[in-house]
């Protein structure tokens, strides 16, 4: 496991909301390509909203939930679970843009077909977390997407085709997101996928 903080330093205790989740993080070239496609989708469709900064792009694998303080024991159990996951690297083809029907109307980039290797990673991580007693929130079904815009005034329904972005996924990460005074992401660990 590699530990680093690409998005900020280790979190100090605070009254903010502390979110833990496993995610796929794109490399810089893939981030830039996503940003270009996101700008094109926004320009080509009504709805406005605010584009998400490319440095915040990620695809959530497993959402562990929110708390009022950082839960170090839970994060450690999640890290131990991640260390037990054996899965292979794969290519993810983002070829659709769409939106979810919720309060903030987020627009996303996603895929027409979920790669088997992505589904396997999701499933194996879920099993490893369950064995370590780490509860997962947000359901047990994978809906692969990268949020690119929030607070749109209109939905993208049905999803629209976009020029495909081929993303080579070589690892996955545990992220701590502190919402409030810092609004920072901290990478608590990254685990490589086998070639």
99 pairs with which residues across the strands? 107
pTM exceeding 0.85:
yes
Render pLDDT for 26-64 as a digit per residue (tens, 0 to 9): 999 999 999 999 999 999 998 889 999 999 999 999 999
Classified as helix, coil or strand, 25 is coil
* Ranges of each domain in the chain: 17-192
CATH-assigned architecture of domain 17-192: Alpha-Beta Complex (3.90)
User: Confidence band (pLDDT; 50, 70, 90) for 101?
Assistant: confident
Cα separation, 156 vs 158, in Å, equals 6
Render pLDDT for 15-35 as a digit per residue (tens, 0 to 9): 688 889 999 999 999 999 999
Cα separation, 40 vs 23, in Å, equals 25
Lowest mean per-residue pLDDT among 3-17, 35-49, 72-86: 3-17
Give me the mean pLDDT over the 94-120 stretch: 94
Distances from the Cα of 126 to the Cαs of 82, 84, 146, in angstroms?
Answer: 9, 11, 20
Cα separation, 114 vs 168, in Å, equals 14
Q: CA nearest 7: which of 32, 25, 33, 29?
A: 25
For 47, the token pair is: 């709805």
- Work out the angle between the directed axes of helices 116-131 and 72-82 (0-180°, nearest 10): 130
Cα separation, 5 vs 129, in Å, equals 22
Q: What is the pLDDT of residue 15?
A: 63
């Amino acid at each position: 496991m590699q530990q680093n903080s690409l998005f900020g330093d280790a979190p100090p205790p605070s009254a903010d909301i502390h979110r833990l989740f496993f995610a796929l993080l794109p490399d810089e070239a893939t981030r830039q390509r996503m940003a270009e496609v996101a700008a094109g989708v926004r320009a080509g469709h009504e709805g406005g909203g605010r584009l998400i900064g490319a440095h915040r792009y990620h695809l959530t694998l497993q959402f562990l939930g929110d708390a009022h303080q950082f839960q170090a024991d839970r994060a450690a159990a999640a890290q131990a679970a991640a260390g037990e996951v054996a899965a292979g690297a794969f290519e993810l083809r983002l070829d659709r843009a769409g939106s979810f029907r919720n309060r903030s109307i987020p627009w996303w980039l996603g895929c027409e077909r979920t790669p088997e290797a992505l589904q396997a990673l999701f499933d194996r991580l879920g099993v490893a977390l369950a064995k370590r007693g780490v509860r997962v929130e947000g359901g047990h079904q994978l809906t692969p997407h990268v949020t690119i815009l929030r607070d749109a005034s209109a939905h993208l329904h049905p999803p629209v085709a976009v020029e495909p972005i081929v993303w080579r996924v070589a690892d996955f990460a545990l992220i701590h997101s502190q919402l409030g005074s810092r609004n920072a992401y901290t990478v608590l660990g990254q685990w490589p996928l086998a070639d």
